[in-house]
């Protein structure tokens, strides 16, 4: 059962993820369609400090709400974002549970698989596999953005602020 404190913290994390996602769309990138994916920091923190179902809910709600705010809901861009988000969440969830990598490694896996999910969706949307040649460019950028998000999440998780100061009842 969820308590009010837990629901409030999850809602704040969702709001933070939405704000970060919207704000980073204003950061100019030299590769069309590429974003830093800093909202992934929230997903990573939630995977390590909350229930997987709560982290998944925040991931999906963030994608839907940002799609609604940007006016892209149910568009090809939204479908690509959702595909990338679902695939990356699945792999980040698996690797966060088997504890083979730190949150930095899990973040890199999430960033790269997000790009893979987007490429797969684009192949179906566009109807050609020629888009696969785009992957080396965004894959390489995904490595960098995954490391950046992972380091931010790792720094937070290492300090374990949530566990020390705002113990969340299960």
Q: Give the pLDDT band (50/70/90) at residue 87.
A: very high
pLDDT digits (tens, 9 = 90+) for 88-131: 999 999 999 998 888 899 999 999 999 999 999 999 999 888 88
For the chain, the structural domain boundaries read 4-165
pTM summary value: 0.84
Whether 28 has a pLDDT exceeding 70, the answer reads yes
Whether 145 has a pLDDT exceeding 60, the answer reads yes
Contact indicator for 132, 123 with CB cutoff of 8 Å = yes
CATH architecture label of 4-165? Orthogonal Bundle (1.10)
């Amino acid at each position: 059962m969820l308590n009010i404190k837990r629901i409030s913290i999850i809602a704040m994390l969702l709001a933070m993820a939405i704000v970060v996602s919207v704000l980073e769309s204003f950061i100019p990138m030299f590769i069309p369609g590429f974003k830093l994916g800093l909202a992934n920091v929230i997903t990573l923190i939630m995977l390590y400090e909350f229930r997987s179902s709560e982290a998944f809910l925040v991931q999906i709600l963030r994608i839907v709400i940002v799609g609604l705010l940007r006016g892209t809901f149910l568009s090809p861009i939204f479908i690509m974002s959702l595909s990338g988000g679902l695939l990356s969440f699945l792999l980040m969830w698996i690797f966060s549970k088997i504890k083979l990598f730190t949150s930095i490694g899990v973040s890199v896996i999430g960033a790269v698989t997000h790009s893979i999910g987007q490429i797969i969706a684009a192949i179906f949307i566009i109807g050609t596999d020629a888009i696969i040649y785009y992957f080396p460019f965004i894959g390489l950028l995904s490595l960098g953005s995954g490391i950046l998000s992972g380091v931010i999440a790792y720094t937070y998780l290492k300090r374990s602020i949530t566990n020390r100061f705002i113990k969340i009842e299960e």
